[in-house]
Amino acid sequence: MSIIPSFFGGRDPFPMDIWDPFNFNNFPFSTALSVPRPQFSSETATFVNARIDWKETPEAHIFKADLPGLKKEEVKVEVEEGRVLQISGERNKEQEEKNDKWHRIERSSGNFLRRFRLPENAKMDQVKAAMENGVLTVTVPKEEVKKPDVKAIEISG
């Protein structure tokens, strides 16, 4: 039994369209628990479970996606207006030969699409992506936070 239907009112706390952790209206514990989950087209529903981790370091936002069996040519990383990072791709079905006899098909195929709204400190013009051993790493550098100058004041008296 899933905890999502009972605890989150049947709503996925992290919908797959655009997840914006900086918009508190999208936070899973908001009062708007009755908002319906967006539906996916049949094209993306097959392979929509592309798992992506997002971590923030002092220097950058780093996304890691497990995409086993995909080549970098089959994956697209795009930056949209409004600081939206989009990661998409397609895993094609294996060609079936006439004389093949399949015993089991468990690997998924189809399209996937994940979108993330980034905070204002993201340098969207310096996004870098690399693919190694089926793991896509997207690095979005952050603008440096200017530390306020602190001046010590001598106390007289």
| Interval 98-115: pLDDT, tens | 788 878 877 777 888 999
Q: What is the pTM of this model?
A: 0.62
**Residue predicted with more confidence, 148 or 53:** 53
Is 7 a residue whose pLDDT tops 90? no
Phi and psi, residue 54, nearest 5° = -130, 115
Please name the residues in contact with 117: beta carbons below 8 A apart, sequence gap of 6 or more. Answer: 18, 19, 20, 22, 23, 82, 83, 84
Per-residue confidence band for 82, with pLDDT thresholds at 50, 70 and 90: confident
